[in-house]
């Protein structure tokens, strides 16, 4: 893969990016999405409040991931370790009941689906796509932890170039960045991509990767919501 990176003066939103992915892949005939209720259960809710408060303070002071902070603080607890470990292991399977043909995506049905969301819902793009040959493939999706800045945007773009090894779009997600690959790949290649991305923790969200590997596919938000009002927008094209 070359090193060409183009910053956008007029940014496309995430729906525009998915429409471009659909247009660029004539062999892909079907995309999957999920309307996710963001009021769902959070595993941190079952942790002792003092532990959560200490972990948040540690995260804000040193910029480390929340669950790493939880584990560090839990070492000083008297008892309750099992409760912490059980909470850390909680996984909510990806549910992708919305299926759109590639033609429907290009024709505006995806944007229509976004407009019909309830205030507490967000629409997620699932990495699994169906090809005209009847098999499935995986889009390269990445979720970063880097705070938004021009310097961090460049870091994220360079990481994408090394991890994905193919074209795609870097999007600003509000507090950080997402990546959506332009071309799908095999399941085996996707697993290796997830493994490579772990090497760039904590810049890439390691727990997000773990949940995607458990599901066998990945998902990223492509809409605004009450909890995340910022519309993900492309900031760079990586080719």
The Cα 166–Cα 164 span in angstroms is 5
Strands 5-7 and 98-101, bridge-based pairing: unpaired
The stretches in the chain having pLDDT less than 70 are 1-5, 7-10, 96
- Contact between 202 and 94 under an 8 Å Cβ cutoff? The reply is no
CB atoms near residue 76 (< 10 Å): 8
Q: Which residues contact 12 (CB under 8 A, 6 or more apart)?
A: 20, 169, 233, 234
Amino acid 1: pLDDT: 45
Q: What is the pTM of this model?
A: 0.91
- Contact between 222 and 127 under an 8 Å Cβ cutoff? The reply is no
Amino acid 39: pLDDT: 80
Amino acid 79: pLDDT: 76
The Cα 8–Cα 202 span in angstroms is 26
């Amino acid at each position: 893969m070359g090193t060409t990176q183009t910053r956008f003066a007029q940014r496309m939103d995430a729906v525009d990016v998915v429409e471009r992915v659909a247009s660029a892949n004539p062999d892909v005939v079907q995309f999957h999405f999920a309307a996710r209720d963001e009021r769902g259960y959070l595993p941190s809710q079952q942790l002792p409040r003092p532990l959560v408060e200490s972990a948040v303070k540690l995260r804000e002071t040193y910029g480390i991931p929340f669950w790493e902070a939880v584990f560090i603080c839990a070492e000083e607890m008297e008892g309750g370790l099992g409760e912490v470990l059980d909470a850390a292991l909680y996984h909510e399977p990806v549910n992708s009941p919305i299926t759109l043909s590639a033609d429907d995506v290009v024709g505006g049905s995806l944007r229509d689906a976004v407009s019909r969301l309830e205030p507490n819902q967000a629409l997620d793009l699932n990495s699994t796509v169906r090809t005209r040959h009847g098999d499935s493939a995986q889009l390269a999706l990445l979720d970063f932890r880097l705070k938004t800045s021009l310097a961090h945007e460049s870091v994220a773009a360079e990481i994408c170039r090394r991890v994905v090894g193919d074209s795609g779009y870097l999007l600003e997600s509000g507090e950080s960045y997402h990546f959506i690959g332009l071309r799908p790949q095999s399941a085996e290649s996707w697993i290796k991509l997830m493994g490579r991305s772990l090497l760039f923790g904590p810049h890439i969200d390691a727990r997000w990767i773990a949940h995607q590997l458990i599901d066998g596919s990945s998902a990223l938000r492509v809409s605004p919501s009450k909890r995340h009002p910022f519309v993900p927008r492309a900031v760079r094209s990586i080719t």
